Amino acid sequence: MSGPGASRPEADALTPVSVADAALGRLTGLAARLLGADAAHLALVDGIAPVAGLTRRLGADGPCLATSTGTDPLVVPDAAADPRTATAPAVLDGGVGAYLGVPLVGRDGRVLGTLCVTDPAPRAWSAADIALLTDLAGAAVTELELAALSLDYEADRVRWQLAVTAGGVGSFDWDLVADRNEWDDQLHELLGVPRDGFSGSIDEFTAVLHPDDVARVQQAIERAIVTCSHYEAEYRVVLADGGTRWIQARGTALAGEDGTAVRLIGAAYDTTAKRDAEGRIARVLETMSAAFFLLDEAWRFTYVNAEAERLLGRTREELVGGDIWELYPAAVGSDFEVHYRGAMATGEPRAFEAYYPPPLDAWYEVRAWPGPDGLSVYFLDITSRRTSQEEAARAQRRLAAASARLELIAAVSEDLSSTLDTEDAVRRLARHLVPALGTWCLITMADEHRQLRDIASWHADPDLRATVARYADLRLTALSPRSYLFQALRTGQLVEVPDATETIVAALSGEARDVLRGLAPHMAYAIPMRARGRTVGAITLFLDTERGTLPADDLTMLVQLADRAGVALDNARLYEEQRHISETLQRALLSAPVEPDHVHVVVRYQPADQAAEVGGDWYDAFLQRDGSTVLAIGDVMGHDTQAAAAMSQVRTLLRGIAYTSGGSPAEVLESLDDAMRALKVDTMASAVVARLEQEPDLQGSGVRRLRWSNAGHLAPLVLLPDGTVRELSGVEPQMLLGVVPGRRRTDEHVVLESGSTVLMFTDGLVERRGEHVRDGLARLRDLLAELGPRAVSDARSADGLDLEALVDEVVRRMLDGRADDDVAVVAVHLYPQDAPRPVAAGPAHL
């Protein structure tokens, strides 16, 4: 394959290149990173000589196969859908979903291989992606050319050494007095002069010299004879067939008794192979895309190729023979000098990247190899690559900063939404902002009377947190009304305070001035917390000298966070107002219970934490005409104003029916069902109605009958005097109110001893999110059983049962600080009838 018109090779025509070579491995990895690709690969066309240490056969069908058909990049956004790549094994296996490949094109136009990147999923490749991969492919070609050059040079050197050994070395002995030259057979062969007819004249030697070399060789001979010293010359001889041969000659002039030279003896050998190799190397160096120069031991340029001339900004004539440190003074003391001198001192090659300032103003990737001839330096201009890398790094930093800002916003939002104590969540905001955005922080809140108070402070340095807290105690009364904080609160706009220490101190009085000087802020920002057209507080963020100032993105985020905190605070204020109104209305709908002699009744109502609406839970305790005590508890479906109105209607109807009819609990519920239908009370409700009775046959026995009827409500519990807990369940469950009016209902009854406690409750007491109601009922029974012995003991003490404390403890432990639904509780304790009403039960209420 030699160019765009080449036919496609067989599937095994490309051999993947091992990333054992550091340069190619770095280029391959760099391609994947800069293009954000899942993988990058490099493969060579079969037939290109493998480079030792760079190439190993890994098999066929690699992901780079398709690009070898031409010299243009192959861009495949969807490899499975593109017929050029759809049948490749890597695509069929699902490993390659998108493909971008650039051919490696040598100086002679031959395609050497392919550099490609792949992604497991389809993706679009931009023009910038293609340009960047093309640049990296060019660098890879240079690496391959340099490696091939090194191999060629080494092969030529070995061939030359073998030629010298095999061909031998010719010798000569020139008698200067007799003017007679003696050559051995090897020299005759080297110079192409037959022994037959050779007279030994120096003119015969001169006759075979290349005309361009005659004067130079004669000067070298003359110098050795005159100075009676060493002779050295490399020259060409013209052979009989018209060809030329390079000869290296070395010798010594021997002095006679008078000190003048009388003989010149020496040896010569064929250097044609070496000269040819050097010529090929020079030609490659001149045509390669990478820059190359050679420095001798005195740090002088001895060779510079054309690309080096271009990159170094000087001509060959200006460079060769010049001192690198004088020509490029900015290199002194830089990475260039450190690595160049290090390579020469250790004999080890160096590879590095370095920047040279104007006039070159460029980044270079440099390889330096020490050798017998000095220091060989190969380098590439990688300014574009570095620019891409730096831009990618900046983009990554911007992405990280944006991600950090999003995480901060999410954390603050979570705090503000995860608790009912919004003020506490706003306090925690200070710890989110420090040290993420500032050195220390204060949070100020305005109450409904527009009174300001600093509710939180935080410093990045634990040793200064007490100082910041002290400043928070002092500053609001010490600040001038015209200061930055009050300006932010008045205008609702962010206020920046440069030179913060002196500016704020000028607006302070008293001890606060000294405390602030100790904190020494460099910059301050006052960010109002706003909601619904009003300012509810402010965040004051302080930065020390090291932190400097905040970028615009961070200031924008601060304003967003302050607004979120402001809305949360205002929502909490509105919620508390509405909740207070709703709870007041709910309690107004529930009257105080009656308490006849020898009966202690305790009621509790707990609104739901998460709602500011009146609920449908209700209770009642009243007397019928005959003096029987009636207890009722119920739950109307819904949690809104309509449910509260329905609850009030149902409760009022039940009370009126029970009082006027004097009926049993079942009869009361039947009549209530009929009344709800007739009066169009369109709702459903659960309820338990219970009546305490003492028939003539029970008087004097110290016991009372509890008769009840249950309309789809949770069964009441009884704590007996012996501490056991019993559920008051009926024979069969009965229908809710409002479902099937006219249905017959039944009464259940139980005889209770004095000292018994009946507990009636709504489902909010036993229900939890994620828990079955059966589990909640079991928890309640276990809790009553735990508290029972103490309650029973107290009941028999002189002071009597503290029913209030018992009910409060049950509610506290069952709700565990959180009421997901509103809760109503009615508890009644039966005292002995032959003893006065205990003081703990309070006076009777009829």
pLDDT of residue 60: 44
pLDDT at 666: 94
CA distance 475 to 507: 10
Question: What would the 3-class secondary structure string for 442-508 be?
Answer: EEEEECCCCCEEEEEEEECCHHHHHHHHHHHHHHHHHCCCCCHHHHHHHHCCCEEEECHHHHHHCCC
Question: Given this model, what pLDDT does residue 834 score?
Answer: 62
Mean pLDDT of 96-119: 88
Q: How many CA atoms lie within 13 A of 289 on its CB side?
A: 19
The arithmetic mean of pLDDT across residues 524-551, rounded, is 91
CA 261 to CA 701: how far, in whole Å?
Answer: 158
Unique residue bearing structure tokens 């990159």: 311
Q: pLDDT tens across 692-729, in order?
A: 987 777 766 778 899 999 999 999 999 998 889 999 98
The phi, psi pair for 299, rounded to 5°, reads 65, 30
Task: Give the residue among 191, 228, 225 at the shortest CA–CA distance from 210.
Answer: 191
| pLDDT for the residue 18 | 39
Q: Is 58 helix (H, G, I), strand (E, B) or coil?
A: coil
Task: Find the DSSP H helices in 168-271.
Answer: 185-191, 202-208, 214-227
The neighbour count for residue 182, using CB atoms within 10 Å, is 13
- State the average pLDDT over residues 237-263: 91
Q: Please check whether residue 671 is in contact with residue 657, taking contact to mean a CB–CB distance below 8 angstroms.
A: yes
Q: Is residue 449 very low, low, confident or very high in pLDDT (cuts 50, 70, 90)?
A: confident
The answer to pTM > 0.75 is no
- 700 backbone φψ class: left, alpha, beta (φ>0; ψ -120 to 50): left
C-beta separation of 15 from 43 below 8 A: yes
Q: Provide the pLDDT confidence category of residue 843 given band limits of 50, 70 and 90.
A: very low
pLDDT at 618: 87
Binning pLDDT at 50, 70 and 90, where does residue 653 land?
very high
pLDDT (average), residues 18-34:
75
Could you report the per-residue pLDDT of 34-70, keeping only the tens digit for each? Answer: 898 999 988 887 655 443 333 333 234 555 655 655 7
Q: Which of 328-342, 562-576, 765-779 has the highest mean pLDDT?
A: 328-342
Predicted confidence (pLDDT) at residue 467 exceeds the cutoff of 50: yes
Positive or negative, the CA dihedral 479, 481, 486, 487 is: negative
Are 527 and 538 within 8 A, CB to CB? yes
Angstrom distance (rounded) from CA 692 to CA 627 = 10
Is residue 463's pLDDT more than 80? Answer: yes
Rounded CA separation 830/837 (Å): 10
Mean pLDDT along residues 415-442: 79
Q: Is the peptide bond before 370 cis (omega within 30 degrees of 0)?
A: no
User: Greater confidence, 66 or 823?
Assistant: 823
- List phi, psi (to 5°) of 377: -125, 125
Tell me the average pLDDT across 730-749.
85
Q: Which residues, listed in sequence order, are joined to residue 111 by a DSSP beta bridge?
A: 105
At 575, is the pLDDT very low, low, confident or very high (cuts 50, 70, 90)?
low
The fraction of the chain above a pLDDT of 90, given in percent, is 46
Confidence band for 457, pLDDT divided at 50, 70 and 90: very high
Say if CB 221 and CB 238 are below 8 A apart: no
How far apart CA 149 and CA 11 sit, in angstroms, is 28
What pLDDT score was predicted for residue 797? Answer: 39
Which residue's entry shows tokens 């390889």? 367
Single out the residue of 388, 387, 536 nearest to residue 455, CA to CA: 536
CB neighbours of 282 closer than 8 A, spacing ≥ 6?
none
Q: Is the pLDDT of residue 106 over 80?
A: yes
Q: Kindly give the interhelix angle for 127-167 and 383-417, rounded to the nearest 10 degrees.
A: 140
**What average pLDDT score do residues 432-444 get?**
91
Average of per-residue pLDDT across 12-39: 70
Q: How far apart are CA 543 and CA 500, in angstroms?
A: 9
Mean pLDDT of 149-171: 63
Q: In what order do the strands lie in the sheet with 717-719?
A: 599-606, 823-830, 757-761, 717-719, 725-727
Contact 826, 601 (CB under 8 A): yes
Q: What would the DSSP string read from start to end of 680-742?
A: T----EEEEEEEEE--GGGTTTTEEEEEEEEESPPPPEEE-TTS-EEE---SS--PPBTTSTT
* Gyration radius from the chain CA atoms: 51
Report the Cα 288 to chain-centroid distance in Å.
43
Could you give the CA distance from residue 265 to residue 263 in angstroms, rounded to a whole number?
A: 6
Residue 827, CA distances (Å) to 481, 756, 757, 761, 805 in order: 57, 10, 7, 8, 11
- Cβ 260 vs Cβ 272: under 8 Å: no
d(CA 822, CA 610) in angstroms, rounded, equals 10
pLDDT at 588 over 70: no
Categorize the per-residue pLDDT at 20 as very low, low, confident or very high, splitting at 50, 70 and 90.
very low
| Residue 50 DSSP label | P
Round to whole Å and give the CA distance between 5 and 624. 110
H/E stretch holding 654 reads helix 641-661
Model confidence at 609, pLDDT cuts 50, 70, 90, reads low
In terms of Cα–Cα distance, which of 95, 65, 68, 92 is closest to 80? Answer: 92
